[in-house]
Amino acid sequence: MADHFEMKKTTAVHGSYIAWAGVVLLTGLLFFLYKPVFKYLLYRIGSASDFDYIYLAPLVLAYLVWELRHDLAAAPKTPAIKGCLLFLFGLMLFWLGELGGEFYTQFVSFLVLIAAMVWALLGTAFLKRMAFVFVCALFFLPFPNFIVQAATARLQLVSSTLGVMLLRLLGKSVFREGNIIDLGYSQLQVVEACSGLRYVLPLLILALLMGHLLRLRMWKRLVLFTAAIPVAVLANGLRITATALLMEHFGKKAVEGFFHDFEGFFIFFFALACMSGLSALLNLLFKDAPNPVNPGHKDSQSQAASNPWQPRKAYLALGIMLASMIGSCYAYSFINFREAIPAVRPLDQFPTQLGQWNGKKAILQKKFLDALDLSGYILIDYADKQGRPINFYVAYYESQRKGESIHSPATCLRGSGWVFERAGAVTLDLPKVGKIKIRAATLVKDRQKQLVYYWFQKGGRVIDNVWALKWYVFWDALTRQMTDGALVRIIAPVMPNETESDTRRRMNEFLSRVVPVLNQYLPGA
């Protein structure tokens, strides 16, 4: 009998070693597959100060796991084959990100794969106890570029407007044009770095952590989390106001160096104090019993003792995950899913004469070229026989790399002070072109008015929104190994002797001329 128990114990220990070896191998393959993703993550954190709080992620997440150490040790650990399905879903997300050129999807897929490994090897009860750690980790991921650009542009305008309102309440005479605030004695430009995004994201994480560490009820956590956004916007508005007031006394020193950094830290701690005050107010007005650290599972010690982890139950799960990971690593290493597709003809050879339209080529400034990272572009100012102008711009990308995305004109035009009176999708029926669905907008600034048409072009398709563009990038990468794409935009001012309808007719006539020629330059058209 003693020999039997000794043999059983030896087998269990030996099986445990095999299981751990499988986990180590799986982890190594995981980091091999995600090496470029981590490399980009470090680059993104280092190049954009809006995301430098991500450096704290390992410390915060490690603390949350350490806080759960006793409950995790006591949790019953029963391997679950269902976790392999989640693992396969995580790999699918990885390939969606790889083919679609989007790192954020791959960031999420990494968390999904870790959660799947926990579920498959340690069981459902263990994963439930880790749920908050994974939720918190999601907010430490940098969001996609096109979402960040859109959010930044809107936050810039909101912060600029709020700053002007506060300055006027203080009796200051100020004027705002887009993101530029004219103070009379100087001008203050609310740039992207001052949009307030670097307040919003950390405060959302702090709201999550405060709700968790203070054991607040779920509805209080939701209130605290939701309040983080308006508090961040208000804080940024106050920062802009403070900067304007300091500029009156200290000049440009107020927007650089010590003053600028000190303002940022002071206002952030003010926002944090507001969040703490709101939490205290909720507890004062709505008293209730605190949540336990981990509700339920009162007899987890006895459950764990009666249901010990058995390595053999994890072998099948490990085998499935290892096989799928090896296949993904092989495909990633030896199959090229994205090829650079040059324009059919050099874009700088695009004609300046189109029927009655005579054009003059313009050149983008180096700072814009560096920011946009284009493969080629067309920028021509055309005019008809009556001298009525139309600006024609095409930005072409031979390969839409992960982390890069085409800038929407709505972002930069709003930041320049133009107000969108009307904007949306329209369908045009043009001679020699046919029906195309594009985006159209009417823009107003002071007494000026201009109309804008724009769309994305990919593989011969005319696409009117960025989400559809992302899908076609993925689909073409999968089926055609192509991730090229272009933004096409035309702008026409409404002339003094014109109505908006006259300007639209002029733009439609120009499109009838230019689109067939453009199709001779872009691939797949």
Q: At what angle do helices 311-334 and 82-100 cross, to 10 degrees?
A: 10
Tell me the pLDDT band of 383, cut-offs 50, 70 and 90. very high
- Determine the pLDDT at residue 517: 92
**At a CB cut-off of 8 Å and minimum separation 6, what does 368 contact?**
none
| Residue 339 in domain | no
- Determine the pLDDT at residue 312: 67
**At a CB cut-off of 8 Å and minimum separation 6, what does 395 contact?**
372, 374, 377, 406, 407, 486, 487
Dihedral class, residue 296 (left if φ above 0, else alpha if ψ from -120 to 50, else beta) = left
Both structure tokens of 32: 């091999």
Tell me: pLDDT of 70 over 60: yes
Tell me: pLDDT of 300 over 50: no
- Same domain? For 492 and 357 the reply is yes
Both structure tokens of 250: 């200290």
- Determine the pLDDT at residue 189: 64
Residue identified by tokens 């993101």 is 179
| Residue 340 in domain | no
- Determine the pLDDT at residue 295: 45
Tell me: pLDDT of 492 over 90: yes
- Same domain? For 404 and 281 the reply is no
Q: Count the domains in the chain.
A: 3
- Same domain? For 137 and 153 the reply is no
| Residue 524 in domain | no
Q: What is the pLDDT of residues 147-197, one digit of tens each?
A: 777 777 777 777 778 887 888 888 777 777 666 777 766 666 666 656 667
Q: Percentage of the chain with pLDDT > 70?
A: 80
Tell me the pLDDT band of 411, cut-offs 50, 70 and 90. low
- Same domain? For 352 and 493 the reply is yes
- Same domain? For 226 and 260 the reply is yes
Tell me the pLDDT band of 518, cut-offs 50, 70 and 90. very high
Q: What is the pLDDT of residues 441-459, one digit of tens each?
A: 888 877 788 999 999 998 8
Tell me: pLDDT of 264 over 80: no
- Determine the pLDDT at residue 392: 95
Tell me: pLDDT of 358 over 90: yes
Identify the three-state secondary structure at position 351: coil
| Residue 292 in domain | no
d(CA 417, CA 488): 21
| Residue 28 in domain | yes
Q: What is the pLDDT of residues 324-351, one digit of tens each?
A: 999 999 888 877 666 777 778 889 899 9
Residue 480 amino acid letter = R
Q: What is the pLDDT of residues 4-49, one digit of tens each?
A: 444 444 444 445 667 778 888 999 999 999 998 898 888 888 776 6
- Same domain? For 323 and 357 the reply is no
Mean pLDDT (the chain) is 81
- Determine the pLDDT at residue 452: 92
Q: Percentage of the chain with pLDDT > 90?
A: 28
- Same domain? For 278 and 151 the reply is yes
- Determine the pLDDT at residue 66: 94
Identify the three-state secondary structure at position 35: helix
Tell me the pLDDT band of 267, cut-offs 50, 70 and 90. confident
| Residue 272 in domain | yes
Q: What is the DSSP string of 182-210?
A: E-SS-EEE--GGGSSHHHHHHHHHHHHHH
Contact 490, 452 (CB under 8 A): yes
- Same domain? For 403 and 464 the reply is yes
- Determine the pLDDT at residue 279: 87
Read off the pLDDT of each residue in 495-523 and give the average, rounded to a whole number. Answer: 91
Contact 33, 333 (CB under 8 A): no
- Determine the pLDDT at residue 493: 92
- Same domain? For 364 and 325 the reply is no
Lowest-confidence region among 243-252, 361-370, 420-429? 243-252
- Output the CA torsion sign for 475, 476, 481, 482: negative
Tell me: pLDDT of 214 over 70: yes
**Neighbour-count burial for 235-273, b at 16+ CB within 10 Å, e otherwise:** bbbbbbbbbbbbbeeeeeebbeeebeeebbeebbeebbe
Contact 44, 51 (CB under 8 A): yes
- Same domain? For 378 and 492 the reply is yes
pTM above 0.75, yes or no: no
- Determine the pLDDT at residue 351: 92
Residue 375 amino acid letter = S
- Determine the pLDDT at residue 471: 84
| Residue 294 in domain | no
447, 430, 481, 489: which is closest to 464 by C-alpha?
Answer: 489
d(CA 298, CA 90): 32
Residue 9, judged by CB atoms within 10 A of its CB (0-12, 13-18, 19+), counts as exposed
Tell me: pLDDT of 137 over 70: yes
d(CA 22, CA 44): 32
Q: Determine the length of the chain.
A: 525
Q: Which domain holds residue 351?
A: 347-518
d(CA 353, CA 342): 24
- Same domain? For 325 and 371 the reply is no
Identify the three-state secondary structure at position 113: helix
- Determine the pLDDT at residue 498: 86
491, 479, 478: which is closest to 449 by C-alpha?
Answer: 491
| Residue 525 in domain | no
- Determine the pLDDT at residue 2: 44
- Same domain? For 502 and 392 the reply is yes
Tell me: pLDDT of 404 over 70: no
Q: What is the pLDDT of residues 109-134, one digit of tens each?
A: 999 999 999 999 988 999 999 999 99
